[in-house]
């Protein structure tokens, strides 16, 4: 069986939701993952502002990818986000977004992650904390 990193590297590009939103995994390894989501008019809530749900989905996916970014060969391939808290600090106006997920504590089944979502200019759009639970 492959490592968690190898599994997540294949999961994200093949996920129907990631494909629909345009989310791409651009970096993964050592308890860290970087994902991007291009701006699309379909992601707008009002005017040119990206919907908070799309931003939360990007943050959630970055947390999952960071949690899976290690060299463990899983006994069971599976898991889910147990909790996600998102603080929106600025609007994302007609901009591609980048999410950086970083593990801050790893246990046997639970993994705590911190996520920063930024716009194309580097302005922080949202900060999130997530707990991921492995199967």
pLDDT in tens, 43-85: 999 999 999 999 999 999 999 999 999 999 998 889 999 999 9
| Burial class (CB within 10 angstroms; exposed 0-12, middle 13-18, buried 19+) of 128 | buried
Is the domain covering 4-134 a CATH 3.10.129.10 domain? Answer: yes
Residue 92 has pLDDT above 90, yes or no: yes
Confidence (pTM): 0.96
Model pLDDT, residue 77: 85
Average pLDDT on 25-33 reads: 97
Contacts of 96 (CB under 8 A, 6+ apart): 36, 37, 38, 39, 119, 120
Mean pLDDT of the chain: 97
Structure tokens at 16: 């129907």
Going by pLDDT thresholds of 50, 70 and 90, the confidence category of residue 95 is very high
**Spans of all domains in the chain:** 4-134
């Amino acid at each position: 069986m492959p490592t968690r990193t190898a599994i997540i590297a294949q999961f994200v590009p093949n996920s129907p939701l990631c494909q629909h939103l345009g989310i791409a995994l651009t970096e993964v390894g050592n308890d860290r993952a970087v994902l991007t989501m291009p701006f699309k008019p379909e992601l707008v809530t009002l005017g040119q502002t990206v919907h908070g749900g799309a931003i939360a989905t990007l943050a959630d996916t970055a947390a999952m990818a960071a949690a899976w970014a290690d060299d463990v060969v899983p006994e069971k391939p599976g898991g889910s986000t147990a909790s996600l808290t998102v603080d929106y600090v600025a609007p994302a106006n007609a901009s591609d977004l980048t999410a950086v997920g970083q593990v801050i504590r790893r246990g046997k089944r639970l993994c705590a992650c911190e996520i920063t979502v930024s716009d194309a200019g580097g302005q922080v759009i949202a900060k999130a904390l997530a707990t991921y639970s492995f199967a």
